[in-house]
Chains A and B, each alone.
Chain A
Amino acid sequence: MAIATPPPVSASSPLAIDATDLGVRYSLRFTKKTTLRQSLGQMFSRDAAEPFWALRNVSFDLVRGESLAVIGPNGAGKSTLLQVLAGIILPSEGSVEVSGHVSSLLTLGAGFDQELSGRENILLAGAFMGLDDGLVRQLVPSIVEYADLGQFIDAPLKTYSSGMRARLGFAIATSVDPDILLLDEVLATGDAEFREKSKARVIELVKAAKGIVLVTHDMVWVEEYCNRAILLEKGRVIVEGNPSEVVRTHMEHSAERKAERAARLGSAGL
């Protein structure tokens, strides 16, 4: 099991990510899809919405070459943490310092335009990601080949099957070698064949990248490919350290929650 674990990195190398006392607050007032009338009503009503902390007092760092797994139950703040690391959400308190280019493989193919062709979508996605246009143009042939689109590359995206769309999204997102790679359950897309192919590509990237933060529910993957793990629950770090230990704590906590739920249901007479 431990064969693929990257070697431990010396403590002298600089930090790729340095998060200090990170907190992300959601004001529930605006997060609900509001209309003018509702919010005018709210403005004059006394009961101000409670702030909700998606993350609180989260501190950790990522040394170059390290692969960090973030695990935890649904709603623990894992995806929010990745969004903060990607620079998409600003912390409400604390700070995060990221040195190096970040590539986030969150959900794939988010920015695709249905009317544009595959080729045009590659250029547009590259521009959104802030990549140099010359570089993106160079990458087009390899993306087309990897996504296995053939002549469809010049057809509008609305003619694509969902599999083709997922393949194109994955191919674009993994076409560049970032310094820091953020992964959020990307391994669950596409058909079985493509899943295998994409898993191989991610392993490649994991080996090449200078730092990885991975959100997953795949505990085997955590123990196999990560050299550190964080367990998040309700926006707070519960444990941090050796992957197998953190996974064990996570399993114990999940089992407890399951038992609690069962007990509650039982006492409710169901």
Chain B
Amino acid sequence: MSATSEAPAAFRHAAARPGPLRLIGEAIEDIRSRRRLVRYLVQADIKKKGADTFLGNLWWIMDPLLQMGVYVVFVSLILSVKTPDYPLFILSAILPWKWFSSSLSDAAGSVVSQEKLIKQIQFPKLVLPVAATTAGVVGFLFGLIPLAGIMLLYPHRISVFMLLVPAIALVQYVFTLGMALLVAAINVFFRDLGNVLRHVLRLWFYLSPALYAMSTLDASSTFQSNPVLRTVAHANPFAVLFESYRAVIYGKPEGPPHAPDFQSLVLLLAASVLLVAFSAIVFKRLEPTFAKVL
């Protein structure tokens, strides 16, 4: 064990509080040295989600389609909002949202669910939310299969801009990671965060331009007369993400896909990196107390 272990061979623990930069360094080292553990956890997570249901991985493809069907019936048939190619319009928002919301709920429970282990073995707890967030990517990738299927129904919307989806997804991943570390740590102290989170997520989805376009909101009289509200709505990370995905997958109702707003995306990426750093500091600061509180 001595020569081949990934865990430190010796340690000295005293009642000291390391500074924020040191904590970020430790966080990076935690993940770097335990890459394999993260990989095993991701694999286990994927396997479990597939094994849990009778249809297995097929469910991952069906689920976004069914959700899309619900919204298509609701919005275009019942509310009779006439947006051309609405299934594609809505699917380009459902897929990233499903990824975000499921990653966040999984991450919220990731530390708490390993309660027993945390009291038994010393390991970097950071791997738990990181693995939960990373496993969520696989669900998103599966979601691209039904997206490809739906795209074939609207061939005039197929464009090279689709190749930008991974870049937008990267921004989303960083943002999700920052949120995930935060909720995973806080959930240790407030076990009902999961319930709160469910409602926050639902509200967040409907307030973000998922079922409607940002331009629809901008045109509304409330937004015309209230610039503060308008600024807040545009600062919503998911306003940027949904609009970007929609730009490259769907385009405009009357026009084909186009380049996303790169400036907003870069700004969001920078803010997300800061969020990850902040969350990592909070997580590392709280980590030593997990074994006591759980």
Residues of B near A104 (CB, < 8 A) are: 120-122
When the two chains form their complex, are residues B291 and A88 in contact, meaning their CB atoms are under 8 A apart?
yes
Q: Which residues of the other chain, A, contact B116 by a CB distance below 8 angstroms?
A: 107, 110-111
Interface residues of B in 1-37 (CB under 8 A from A): 1-2, 4-7, 9-15, 34, 36-37
- B9 — nearest CB in chain A belongs to which residue? A101
- Knowing A107-B120, A110-B121, A130-B6, the reply to whether A87 touches B11 (Cβ < 8 A) is yes
The answer on a CB contact under 8 Å between A34 and B15 is no
Is B190 in contact with A34, judged by CB distance below 8 angstroms?
A: yes
Q: Flag whether A33 is at the interface (Cβ < 8 A).
A: yes
User: Could you say which of B9, B44, B121, B122 contacts A116, with CB atoms under 8 Å apart?
Assistant: B44
Q: Given that A88-B121, A90-B13, A131-B6 are known contacts, is A124 also in contact with B36, CB under 8 Å in the complex?
A: no
Known: A106-B120, A127-B36. A36 touches B192 (CB 8 A): yes
Chain B residue, CB-CB nearest to A134: B4
A residues 57-95 in Cβ contact with B at 8 Å: 83-84, 86-95
Beta-carbon nearest neighbor of A130 in chain B: B7
Which one of B34, B117, B196 lies within 8 Å of A111 (CB-CB)?
B117
- Chain A proximity of B14: nearest CB distance (Å): 4
A-facing residues in B181-219 (Cβ within 8 Å): 189-193, 196
Taking a contact as CB atoms under 8 Å apart, the answer to whether B292 and A31 are in contact is yes
Establish whether residues B5 and A91, one from each chain, have CB atoms under 8 Å apart when the complex forms: no
Of A33, A90, A98, A133, the contact of B288 (CB 8 Å cutoff): A90
State the Cβ distance, A29 to closest chain B Cβ, in Å. 10
Q: CB of B156 within 8 A of chain A?
A: no
Inter-subunit contact A101/B7 (CB<8 Å): yes
Task: Please indicate the chain A residues that have their CB under 8 angstroms from the CB of B15 in the complex.
Answer: 23, 90-95
Judged by a CB distance under 8 angstroms, whether A177 is at the interface is yes
Distance of B160 from chain A, by nearest CB (Å):
41
**In the complex, B40 has a CB within 8 A of chain A:** yes
Question: With A and B bound together, what is the CA distance between A148 and B247 in angstroms?
Answer: 59
> Does B159 sit at the interface, judged by CB under 8 A?
no
In chain B, what residue has the closest Cβ to A19?
Answer: B13
Contact status A36-B1, CB under 8 Å: no
The reply on B66 being an interface residue by CB < 8 A is: no
Of B7, B123, B292, which one neighbours A89 at CB under 8 angstroms? B292
Q: Look across to chain B and name the residue whose beta carbon is closest to the beta carbon of A135.
A: B4
A97 to B293, CA, bound (A): 24
Q: Does B230 contact A (CB under 8 A)?
A: no
Give the docked Cα–Cα distance between A31 and B293 (Å).
4
- Check A26–B292 contact: CB distance below 8 A: yes
Q: Which residues from B are CB-within-8-Å of A93? A: 15
CA distance A93 to B17 in the complex (A): 11
> How many angstroms from the CA of A210 to the CA of B266 in the assembled complex?
54
In the complex, which residue of chain A has the Cβ closest to the Cβ of B7?
A130
Tell me whether A120 and B44 are in contact (CB under 8 A). Answer: yes
Complex Cα gap A92–B15 (Å): 5
Contact B5 A132 (CB under 8 A): yes
Closest to B115 in A: A110
Alpha-carbon distance between A26 and B114 when the two chains are bound, in angstroms: 20
Tell me how far the C-beta of A193 lies from the nearest C-beta in chain B, rounded to whole angstroms: 25
Return the chain B residue nearest A97 by Cβ. B12
Kindly supply a per-residue 1/0 record for chain A positions 1-42, scoring 1 wherever the CB is within 8 Å of any chain B CB and 0 otherwise.
000000000000000000000010010001101111101000
> Which chain A residues lie closer than 8 Å to B6 at the CB level?
130-132
A100 lies within 8 A of chain B by Cβ? yes
Q: Give the nearest-CB partner of A20 in chain B.
A: B14
Is A129 interfacial (CB 8 A cutoff)?
A: yes
- Whether a CB of chain A sits under 8 angstroms from the CB of B138 is no
Which of B41, B118, B121, B191 contacts A33, CB < 8 Å?
B191
For chain A residues 94-150, which have a beta carbon within 8 Å of chain B? 94-104, 106-107, 110-111, 113, 115-116, 120, 123-124, 127-135
A88 surroundings in chain B (CB, below 8 A) = 118-122, 291
Cα separation A127 to B11 with both chains bound (whole Å)? 19
Q: Which of the listed residues B13, B34, B47, B288 has the most CB atoms from chain A within 10 Å of its own CB?
A: B13
Task: Tell me, rounded to whole Å, the shortest Cβ–Cβ distance linking A135 to chain B.
Answer: 5
Known A-B contacts A86-B121, A88-B120, A101-B2; the reply to A127 vs B10 at CB < 8 A is no
Please give me the 7 A-B residue pairs with the lowest Cβ-Cβ distance, nearest first.
A130-B7, A95-B14, A132-B4, A87-B122, A111-B117, A127-B37, A110-B116
14 A-B Cβ contacts within 8 A? Answer: A23-B15, A31-B293, A88-B291, A97-B12, A98-B10, A98-B12, A100-B9, A100-B10, A110-B119, A127-B40, A128-B123, A131-B1, A177-B1, A179-B2
List chain A positions with a Cβ less than 8 A from chain B. Answer: 23, 26, 30-31, 33-37, 39, 83-84, 86-104, 106-107, 110-111, 113, 115-116, 120, 123-124, 127-135, 176-179
Q: Which residues of B contact A (CB under 8 A)?
A: 1-2, 4-7, 9-15, 34, 36-37, 40-41, 44, 47-48, 51-52, 114, 116-123, 189-193, 196, 288-289, 291-293
Contacts A115-B51, A131-B1 given; 7 further ones with Cβ under 8 A?
A: A36-B192, A97-B13, A111-B117, A116-B47, A123-B40, A127-B36, A179-B2
